[in-house]
Structure 1
Amino acid sequence: MDFIQEGPFLIVERERFVARFPADPSRDLEQLQDQDIYVTVAGGPTYYATVMTLHAIDAALRRWAQTGEAAGGRYFWSTDLVITPRPGITAMIEAIDGLVREGEIAQACQIIPDPMAREIEDG
């Protein structure tokens, strides 16, 4: 998968959208279990998505059982959560592509201000 580094973001450009996510490009991105992604739809708004695997959710619940968070790991919730069956940025981008292609991203994720527009204003 081709990435563009722009400030703190790695960017993946597709025909229907641009995905931006803060990540260290030296990490093995195909092992990511969870990632926050900003998705700007072509000609449309920017959405925020938290993409996670079931393994990542299970790990959080187990950790919270030890730390006492979320009633001792008795629940998990996240706004704008998209669950993918396998780890890695490729699987995550495929999930986002499906949401955009099927017209479901507006139901799954909330619109936010474009993070790059803010950076330009501050710049």
Structure 2
Amino acid sequence: MGATDPYVTITEPTFVARFLLGPDTTEESVANVDAFVDLPDGSSWALTIFTVDEVRRLLARWKETGEVADGSYFWAVDQLIVPEPGVPAMTTAIRELVRSGEIVSAGVRCEDPG
């Protein structure tokens, strides 16, 4: 991740994953991140990845603030939940989604800008 590049990029033979980390987030601690997965066929898929603990934290915060019906639910269209924080754990999940073909169900296809 360079000074002008906000992404952490993981390149594997079957995909390239770009994680959009915030300025106060590290690759090891990230628990809530937008990611884009580019496949060799030219398709690109967007995911929002959360840890189980991050979902729990958000629900508790919303209960206190009254948001989302007092934290009574959590949802996201392109949601992927992983058991632990960090880009390595998230990459493991993406690797399996790509291998199984489930990336097309879990992710939201990004439009071709051209």
1:12 match: 10
Q: Conserved in 1, the CA contact under 8 Å of 2:38 and 2:45?
A: yes
2:87 match: 89
Q: Per-residue deviation at 1:35?
A: 1.0
Tell me the alpha carbon deviations over residues 68-104 of structure 1, each in whole angstroms, 9 at most, x when there is no partner. 1100101111111111111111000110011001111
Q: Conserved in 1, the CA contact under 8 Å of 2:16 and 2:39?
A: yes
Q: 1:61 aligns with which of 59, 62, 65?
A: 59
**Could you say what the CA RMSD is over the residues aligned between the two structures, in angstroms?**
2.0
Q: How far apart are the structure 2 equivalents of 1:90 and 1:110?
A: 21
Q: Conserved in 2, the CA contact under 8 Å of 1:10 and 1:25?
A: no
- Matched to 2:89, the amino acid is A
Q: Per-residue deviation at 1:113?
A: 2.9
Q: How far apart are the structure 1 equivalents of 2:58 and 2:23?
A: 24
Secondary structure (helix, strand or coil) at the match of 2:37 reads strand
2:76 match: 78
> Mind listing any 5+ residue stretches in structure 2 that lack a counterpart?
none
Q: Which has the higher helix share?
A: 1
Q: How far apart are the structure 1 equivalents of 2:8 and 2:23?
A: 7
Q: 1:45 aligns with which of 22, 43, 68?
A: 43
Q: Per-residue deviation at 1:20?
A: 1.1
Aligned length: 113
Secondary structure (helix, strand or coil) at the match of 1:50 reads strand
Of residues 50-59 and 5-14 in structure 1, the stretch that sits farther from structure 2 once superposed is 5-14
Q: Per-residue deviation at 1:7?
A: 2.7
> Mind listing any 5+ residue stretches in structure 1 that lack a counterpart?
none
Q: 2:97 aligns with which of 91, 96, 99?
A: 99
Q: TM-score, normalised by structure 1?
A: 0.82
Secondary structure (helix, strand or coil) at the match of 1:55 reads helix
